[in-house]
Amino acid sequence: MIDLIRQYWQPFLWGSPNHISGLAMTLWLTVASCVIGFALALPLSVARAAGPSWARLPVWLFTFVFRGTPLYIQLLIIYSAIYGLDFVRTTPGLGSFFKDALNCTVLAFAVNTCAYTTELLTGAIKATPRGEVEAARSLGLAGISLYLRIVLPSALRRALPAYSNEVILMLHATSLASTATVPDILKVARDAYADYYLPFPAFGIAAVLYACLSMTFIWLFRKAEQKWLRHLSTT
Amino acid sequence: MNGYLQQLLVGIVVTIELATVSLVIAFGLGLIGAAAKLSSNRWLAMVGSAYTTLIRAVPDLVLMLLLYYSVQNWVNAITDLLGQPQIEIDPFLAGVSVIGFIYGAYFTETIRGAVKAVPRGQLEAAAAFGLNRWQAFSRILFPQMMRFALPGISNNWQVILKATALVSIIGLHEVIYAAQAAIKGSSWPGGAHVLFYLLMAALLYLALTTVSNFVFAYLEKRYAAGFERMAR
């Protein structure tokens, strides 16, 4: 067990000169997919909450399909099935994109979290108090400026607790990247396990690292809520 | 119908069995966990809190691998020590215990919240009528708690259903395993068989989550009998 820790603490935590560490890879996967997913979810949720029906239906279908199937299947489809198609492999841009495991995992994670984020942002937009919108309209705001100045700032704040949950779930979901050979925390743990056949220390270290990351994210979001939700606190 | 599609159907049945048995285990653990967290005994409450905090902080896939391989290792160590032949843990049993144990922590939180939402006076009234603790639980607390717990249970069920996709990684023959076997066994022009079988597996999952949505909508209506529907 000492040997395992001695050999693997670097891949787990700091990485070596030519390899990114598991911790850094997990963080990168989480941040990249959440940022991309959020950026896509913002227009989609506005479309779903307030758009015309030809825009609402496809967005609903998108969230329904991606929330109704396991992320693992979505990852398998993007990582192995799409690259398995001959025409994808022979098309220059597509082939090189889907050949890379990291591209595929970030794409799968981003699309998946986008579906969940769209749904929770839609809920927050729809729950905007009527009075806020009426006040904005009476001051002459309408259309895009109504959304940019009033509805979205208010809805995004109220969505913060639910979104912090989604980010934690996404952090946990990134452990699936190890099945696509991306060297995240769990991949390092699986390598360590394969080397030493000591499952408890190998996966235990991974579990502790994930737990620490979760606690850090929870703490950060609590700070953010204290800052941005102060106007809603009852005390 | 070709044999591989039939295998997929067999796989989805395994998925349903896995999810249902896991749900029952998780719900049972959730009741026990909630009782521990709500108990006046400080140690019990601490054990309950440790369970929910630790388990919910770690990804389910990591816990699955950790528990699955560690427990098998410990069983081997014990049988070696006793000079007995090795016991292979049944993968189905391992799968449902691990999923049940993990989601028990989520159910603990769901049930704890639901129990706290039942007005105190209900239990005081039950005590005043001379009901013993089991009667008060089964006739007063449980039916009322279920109304508050159902949205959470429905959510947890969907998550469990999707979590069963992970147990193919520890070697269980559920629907993804069947899809991967079908992919290995066939070769279509253009490489379309990979996409086809994975999409079929995804469709089966989609059907399951859709049906469960309807079932839970019905249950929520049933347990809300006697209460006005909240304005949306």
Reading chain B (232 residues) residue by residue, the pLDDT tens digits are: 578 888 888 889 999 999 999 999 999 999 999 999 999 999 999 999 999 999 999 999 999 999 988 988 888 889 888 888 888 888 888 889 999 999 999 999 999 999 999 998 999 999 999 999 899 999 999 988 988 999 899 999 999 999 999 888 888 888 888 888 888 888 887 778 888 999 999 999 999 999 999 999 998 888 887 776 554 4
3-state SS of chain B?
CCHHHHHHHHHHHHHHHHHHHHHHHHHHHHHHHHHHHHCCCHHHHHHHHHHHHHHHHCCHHHHHHHHHHHHHHHHHHHHHHHCCCCCCCCHHHHHHHHHHHHHHHHHHHHHHHHHHHCCHHHHHHHHHCCCCHHHHHHHHHHHHHHHHHHHHHHHHHHHHHHHHHHHHCCCCCCHHHHHHHHHHHCCCHHHHHHHHHHHHHHHHHHHHHHHHHHHHHHHHHHHCCCCCCCCC
- A169: which strand partners? none
Give the domain CATH number at B35.
1.10.3720.10
Kindly list the residues from chain B whose CB atom is less than 8 angstroms away from the CB atom of residue A186. 59, 61-62, 65
Residue A19's SS3 state is strand
The domain in which residue B162 lies consists of 18-172
The CA distances from residue A38 to A34, A45, A176, in Å, are 6, 10, 20
**What is the pLDDT at residue B18?**
93
Contacts of A81 in chain B (CB under 8 A): 194-195, 198-199
Helix (H, G, I), strand (E, B) or coil at A207: helix
For an interface test with A, which of B54, B61, B214 has the most A Cβ atoms less than 10 Å from its Cβ? B61
**B16 touching A (Cβ < 8 Å):** no
Distance from CA of B50 to the nearest CA of A (A): 12
- Indicate yes or no: CB of A72 within 8 angstroms of CB of B58: no
Residue B145 falls within a domain, yes or no?
A: yes
pLDDT at B232: 44
The pLDDT assigned to B16 comes to 93
Rounded CA separation B140/B125 (Å): 9
Number of structural domains (chain A) is: 1
Would B8 be classed as within a structural domain?
A: no
Q: What stretches of chain A show up as alpha helix (H) in DSSP? A: 2-9, 22-50, 53-68, 71-76, 82-84, 86-90, 92-99, 101-126, 130-138, 143-146, 152-158, 160-173, 185-196, 199-228
Mutate to test the interface with A, among B63, B155, B188, B198 (most CBs of A within 10 A): B198
- A·B CB contacts under 8 A: 114
DSSP string for residues in A143-161: HHHHIIIIIHHHHHHHTHH
Report if residue B152 sits inside a domain.
yes
Half-sphere exposure of B106 (CA within 13 A, CB side): 24
> From CA B112, how far away is CA B37, in angstroms rounded?
8
pTM of the model: 0.89
Beta bridge partners of A16: A19
d(CA A169, CA B230): 29
The whole-number pLDDT of residue A216 equals 95
Q: Which residues constitute the domain of residue A159? A: 2-232
Q: Residue A181: what are its φ and ψ, rounded to 5°? A: 65, 15
Give the per-residue pLDDT at B84: 84
Q: How far is the C-alpha of A138 from the C-alpha of A55, rounded, in Å?
A: 27
Distances (CA, A) of A125 to A33, A59, B144: 22, 15, 31
Tokens matching residue A22 = 């598991």
Q: What does each C-alpha distance from A80 to A7, A17, A104, B122, B173 come to in angstroms?
A: 32, 30, 9, 56, 20
**Number of folded domains in chain B?**
1
SS3 A35: helix
Partners of A19 in the beta sheet? Answer: A16
Which has the closest alpha carbon to A29: A83, A97, A96, A108?
Answer: A108
Structure tokens at B32: 């026990």
Q: Is the ipTM of this complex over 0.90?
A: no
Structure tokens at A203: 């996966």
Residue B166 in contact with partner chain A when CB distance is under 8 A:
yes
- Tens digits of residue pLDDT in A29-60: 999 999 999 999 999 999 999 888 899 999 99
Q: Which residues of chain A have pLDDT under 70?
A: 14-18, 234-235
Look up the CATH number of the domain holding residue A194: 1.10.3720.10
Map tokens 């249970």 to a residue: B153
Q: Contact at 8 Å (CB) between B65 and A203?
A: yes
3-state secondary structure at position A180: helix
Nearest to B66 among A70, A178, A207 (CB): A207
pLDDT for A18 equals 64
